[in-house]
Amino acid sequence: MRSFSEIDTIAKRASKGVGFSWGVAEEVGKNIKLLETYGLPGLKNLNEYFNSLQVKKFQNLTFISNENQSKIPYCPIIAGISFLDQVEEIKDLVNIKIENMSYPILFLPFLSRASEIVGKKISLKIDEKIFLLNFNQNIYSNYFSDEILPNSNMVEINFIENKNTFDQNVWDNMYKLSTNTFVDETDELKKSAAGAGLTDND
Please give the pLDDT value at position 71. 96
| Cα of 7 vs its chain's centroid, Å | 18
Q: Is 6 helix (H, G, I), strand (E, B) or coil?
A: helix
Whole-structure pTM value = 0.86
167 belongs to a structural domain: no
Q: What is the model's pLDDT at position 36? A: 96
Residue 182 lies in a domain: no
Question: Which pLDDT belongs to residue 82?
Answer: 98
What's the number of domains the chain is made of? Answer: 1
Q: 26 lies in which domain range?
A: 4-160
Query: What Å distances lie between residue 120 and 14, 31, 135, 138, CA to CA?
Result: 32, 19, 7, 13
Residue 41 falls inside a structural domain: yes
Nearest CA among 24, 31, 95 for reference residue 62: 24
Residue 84 forms part of a structural domain: yes
* Domain annotation covers residue 166: no
- 176 in a domain, yes or no? no
**Per-residue confidence in pLDDT tens, the chain, 202 aa:** 899 999 999 999 999 999 999 999 999 999 999 999 999 999 999 999 999 999 999 999 999 999 999 999 999 999 999 999 999 999 999 999 999 999 999 999 999 999 999 999 999 999 999 999 999 999 999 887 889 999 999 999 999 999 999 999 999 999 999 999 887 666 666 666 655 555 555 5
Q: Tell me, what's the pLDDT at 90?
A: 96
- What pLDDT does 146 receive? 87
Helix (H, G, I), strand (E, B) or coil at 141: strand
Q: How high is the pLDDT of residue 182?
A: 82
Measured distance CA(146)–CA(156) in Å, rounded:
22
Residue 200 lies in a domain: no
